[in-house]
Structure 1
Amino acid sequence: MTSKPAKVAIYARVSTDDQAEQGYSIDAQLDTLRKYCELYGKAVYKEYVDRGISGKSIVGRYELQQPLKDVEERKFDEVIVWKFNRMARKNIDLLHIVERLEKYNITFRSFSENFDTSTSMGKFALQMMGAVGELERNTIVDNVKMGMKQRAKKGEHNGKLPLGYRVVPDPSNLSKRSKAVAIVPDETIIVRKIFELYAAGRGLKSIANELNHSGYKTKTGNTFSTTAIKEILNNPFYNGKVRYNRYENWSNKRRRGKSAEPIIADGKHEAIIHDALWEKVQSLLQKKSFTPSRIFNGEFLLSGLIRCPKCGSAMVASRTRSKTKTGEIVHHLYYSCGAFRSKGSSVCSANSIRKQDAEDEVMNRLAQVLFKDRILKAIVDKINHRLTTRTVPLQAELEHIRSQLEQAESRKRKYLDLFEHGNVDKSFFTGRMQEIQADLIKFRAEKSRLELELTEDNTSPVVFEQVRELIHGFHQVLTAAPFEQRKTMLHLFIKRITLDTSKKIEAIELSFDETVDSYFSDSPVAVAAGDSLQRKQARKREKIEIAI
């Protein structure tokens, strides 16, 4: 009896047009891997393709996530790529992917490096090649950083320019690639206004509020916030300096990676802010840089969870004060719109809700659902109805995206035919092809996301007893834990709290998944309480979302 041919999943990826030009194009990868499968009598199960996406991380690579989901059902026997770095640039990501494949007895094979993970030597080769690949990438990154540091030391800018500046062709250099930095007159008015207002004693929120009321926008077209104002005031580029290496390893550490030795050099660009004004502003910023002591007490459990009923921004802690008839100062604690607090009244209004009222309502509603089974049962029935009907709009959206993708591919073929017959100008053709290629990348990514979402959609009914147990454990730990732990729990399990137009709590959206089980079982409060959820840790549970 003839054995069935091995089913192969092909994965291909390019991150830039340059890679395509250097022979790494999607079509070239797929053609090579198809011929390989044909030569060795293997059946292609499916081709998974990520276009225009970096291999730095697996986040956002929906076509890669799809086969990692399909392995659970053993839809294929082998995954093959043209080169191992098409799968992942980071060695740790590559090893995690291969480990997941091996868990389901699925082989990973690289065509160019000629190894597969079904053998010990293949696994060893994978680890070595992965390490070499990551070293190569890190070396490229280091070389790029070194070049950028040299540019900064020579007074040349790196990256995006701040408000007030734009890139123009360098008049002193005829090379098309040579660029210079020029002032944008309309934007310099905003920058000078910010510095002058701050030097005159105005606060960050006051400045943001005035700019927003005047209709001014940031470089990206957004309204001004206190953070945006402070960033401008701190930027030495406006004083004719170039600053580089302010933060190290930004993608991982963000602002925690502040560099001890940033590069600051005299720039080749024109300053917008003269020395006297710059120094005055820096002196004021320095005086206000200390952290003030708390002038009121209050443990705000729901900061960031409650959403403004007007603009949808997260609501933050705020206070007002009043004087009693006896002259005593009384502080009143609220949750108020974060956009109003940082950007002023032109963006939104306070929409405040009393702190105690909001927190009491949340706790009371949790208790009400916990102790009244008929309410929880009605919620579960609603969830199950939504689960059974959820796929319909997703499928409709997917069909729409597929239609747009077909139209974009048709336009691409049309312009290729016109160009081949000499019926279209080359520069026009290049511009149109770039636009179409951008559309194709966008539509393919959206198509992959929707297909993955439909695959992951769990339409099996939610079990009432399971939900009741989750909420019981949640409420039990929440009422017994100290403040910091309770706040952490609320932020883990509550997606958002919405208010109605009368500023009353409308819905509390809860989300439970395997992380919830882990948190309950690891919590000392839960262990002390003998929480029964600890016994459920080994059981896989899909995400459950409810609104109460």
Structure 2
Amino acid sequence: MEMHKNLKAALYIRVSTEEQAQDGQSASAQVETLKQYCCAYGIEVFDIYMDLGLSGKKLKDRKELERLMEACIRRQFDMVLVWKISRLSRSLKDLLYLIDVFERNNVHFASCSEMFDTSTPVGRMTLQLLGSIAEFERNTIVENVKLGLKEFARKGGKASAVLGYDNVDKKLVINETEAGLVRLIFNLYTENAMNFTAIARYLNSLGYKTKRGSEFRCSNISYIIHNPVYIGLNRHSMNTEREYSIRGMHPSIIDSGQWCKAQSLSSENEKRTVSKNSNTESLTLPVICMRCNSQMRVFYTYSKGKRYKYLRCCSCSNYVNVERLMKVVSRAIIALVDDKSAQEPAYRLICQDTMSIKSGGTEITAIEAEINLLQKSKARYLSLFEGYKISDTKAFIDRIAEIELQIKKLEQKKLELNRAAFASNTTADYKEYFCGLKDRLSAMEPEALSQTVCLIRSIEAFRDEIKIVLYL
């Protein structure tokens, strides 16, 4: 760079948490190097902007960089000087965006270590090459960290501490004081029949605190009761479809028998809650992605304070608006029941379905909800049981057998109710039934859609294209 006596430079310094300890990359080392550079070339230091402990992956939350950009737009300095371009950003896209803002305001960008200036074509080309290398380094670091965490998890390690354990050299070690509290929580739930809210209030009245030193809430108790870490298992990728458990290297606090009892009680409580709310549940339809044949999942977006419901394919990012989908479904069913030759067989299908027309519908819906919860509970027990050397295997086997028996009894009860509902309805009723059904479908009433969902064989969707196949 040529000698310019009247140049004003903004010095930008950024260090991540890891880089602060590395030689030559600390904030003070960067400041000293940049000041020496300015002194050597006769450049006046306008101001120093420092973002400490922040990643270069994104521009978000970098307050000092925002302050620098505001000063740049006001043209309060002539150049931005950094130690390395990776200090400004490790993303090539973000880096080029910042350089573009600088140039629009006649501000040059220079790197002390790489020795180039964006005011020349060669300097700009060098910048893009170095930016690509910085982004490659960041991606490599991210991949290495992911691989390290996966290997650590595979060996049964767990980096975070939970109530009852302390993290010592990345290993869970029992904290006897907290472990006693965990045992108390399980005893209150399994032996004293206290719910999560009651347990939280009781612990708060005694002055107990969570691992982070705050008061207990219902969600804290639920997390403890459902966490298999207390029987020696570590959960990973929680609350995702890829969630799995691995035998940990830490000792158990709760025996598997009491933990199974707690899960059983939790399932029973969930069933009672679902039974109360079964009449107000929204209709849920299995929708298949037309592109990759995967089942689409519900997600929500928010705009101007309103919430919108969509279905999205997790494999190819295909999505469809649920409101529009339900309108298409409603129109397809209305077209079917308008066909007089299809009314009688359609009525028979609806009578045989769980949402019967005259009687038993509410009870059958509650039974189906119970069966669904029991099946989820069974799958949870199997995932924990299979492949792990759990000392008390009898408790798991007995509980799984008990769940299977409950499911069998509920299935039989559901069949009997369906038969009774069908016997109580005659085909003479269908004309009167369909007369009112069309108006309810046009109004998109959830109950009407629930009653007629049995007429649909399959639904496929891709953006605005929706394909509905009916049984009749």
CA contact (8 A) 1:14 1:20 kept: no
- Structure 1 stretches of 4+ with a deviation exceeding 6 A read 294-297
For 2:85 and 2:25, how far apart are their aligned partners in 1? 13
Query: How big is each residue's C-alpha offset from its partner over 1:30-75, in whole Å with a ceiling of 9 and x where there is no partner?
Result: 2332333333333222222234444344444332222112112211
Equivalent position SS for 1:49: strand
Query: How big is each residue's C-alpha offset from its partner over 1:491-534, in whole Å with a ceiling of 9 and x where there is no partner?
Result: xxxxxxxxxxxxxxxxxxxxxxxxxxxxxxxxxxxxxxxxxxxx
Q: Compared with structure 1, are the counterparts of its residues 198 and 100 closer, same or farther at alpha carbon in structure 2 (3 Å cutoff)?
A: farther
CA contact (8 A) 2:81 2:112 kept: yes
1:188 aligns with 2:186: no
Q: Compared with structure 1, are the counterparts of its residues 72 and 11 closer, same or farther at alpha carbon in structure 2 (3 Å cutoff)?
A: same
Q: Compared with structure 1, are the counterparts of its residues 281 and 102 closer, same or farther at alpha carbon in structure 2 (3 Å cutoff)?
A: farther
Q: Is there any run of 5+ residues in structure 1 with no aligned partner, and where?
A: 169-177, 247-257, 298-302, 304-548
For 1:103 and 1:285, how far apart are their aligned partners in 2? 61
Structure 2 equivalent of residue 211 of structure 1: 203
Larger Rg: 2
CA contact (8 A) 1:19 1:25 kept: yes
Give the CA deviation at 1:217: 0.5
1:135 aligns with 2:116: no
Give the CA deviation at 1:239: 1.0
Structure 1 equivalent of residue 251 of structure 2: 270
Give the CA deviation at 1:120: 4.1
Structure 2 equivalent of residue 84 of structure 1: 85
For 1:100 and 1:114, how far apart are their aligned partners in 2? 21
CA contact (8 A) 1:149 1:244 kept: no
Structure 1 equivalent of residue 165 of structure 2: 165
Query: Partner letter of residue 188 of structure 2?
Result: L
For 2:189 and 2:92, how far apart are their aligned partners in 1? 49
Equivalent position SS for 2:9: strand
Give the CA deviation at 1:245: 2.9
Structure 2 equivalent of residue 63 of structure 1: 64
Written as runs of structure 1 = structure 2, the 5 A alignment for 1:466-481 is: none
CA contact (8 A) 1:80 1:109 kept: yes
Give the CA deviation at 1:20: 4.3
TM-score (norm 2): 0.52
For 1:56 and 1:118, how far apart are their aligned partners in 2? 25
Query: How big is each residue's C-alpha offset from its partner over 1:173-197, in whole Å with a ceiling of 9 and x where there is no partner?
Result: xxxxx56432112211221222233
Written as runs of structure 1 = structure 2, the 5 A alignment for 1:263-412 is: 263-289=244-270, 292=274, 293=277
Give RMSD over aligned pairs.
Answer: 3.0
Q: Compared with structure 1, are the counterparts of its residues 138 and 283 closer, same or farther at alpha carbon in structure 2 (3 Å cutoff)?
A: farther
Q: Is there any run of 5+ residues in structure 2 with no aligned partner, and where?
A: 282-304, 306-472
Query: Partner letter of residue 56 of structure 2?
Result: G
Q: Compared with structure 1, are the counterparts of its residues 3 and 35 closer, same or farther at alpha carbon in structure 2 (3 Å cutoff)?
A: closer
TM-score (norm 1): 0.46
Give the CA deviation at 1:220: 0.4
Give the CA deviation at 1:111: 2.3
CA contact (8 A) 1:153 1:263 kept: no
For 1:289 and 1:128, how far apart are their aligned partners in 2? 57
Q: Compared with structure 1, are the counterparts of its residues 185 and 27 closer, same or farther at alpha carbon in structure 2 (3 Å cutoff)?
A: closer
Give the CA deviation at 1:133: 1.8
Equivalent pairs, count: 276
Give the CA deviation at 1:274: 0.8
Equivalent position SS for 1:75: coil
Q: Compared with structure 1, are the counterparts of its residues 150 and 20 closer, same or farther at alpha carbon in structure 2 (3 Å cutoff)?
A: closer
The sequence identity of aligned pairs, in percent, is 41
Equivalent position SS for 2:24: helix
Structure 2 equivalent of residue 233 of structure 1: 225
CA contact (8 A) 2:158 2:170 kept: no
For 1:295 and 1:209, how far apart are their aligned partners in 2? 31
Query: Partner letter of residue 188 of structure 1?
Result: A
Within the candidate set 177, 188, 203, 1:197 is matched to 188
CA contact (8 A) 1:12 1:81 kept: yes
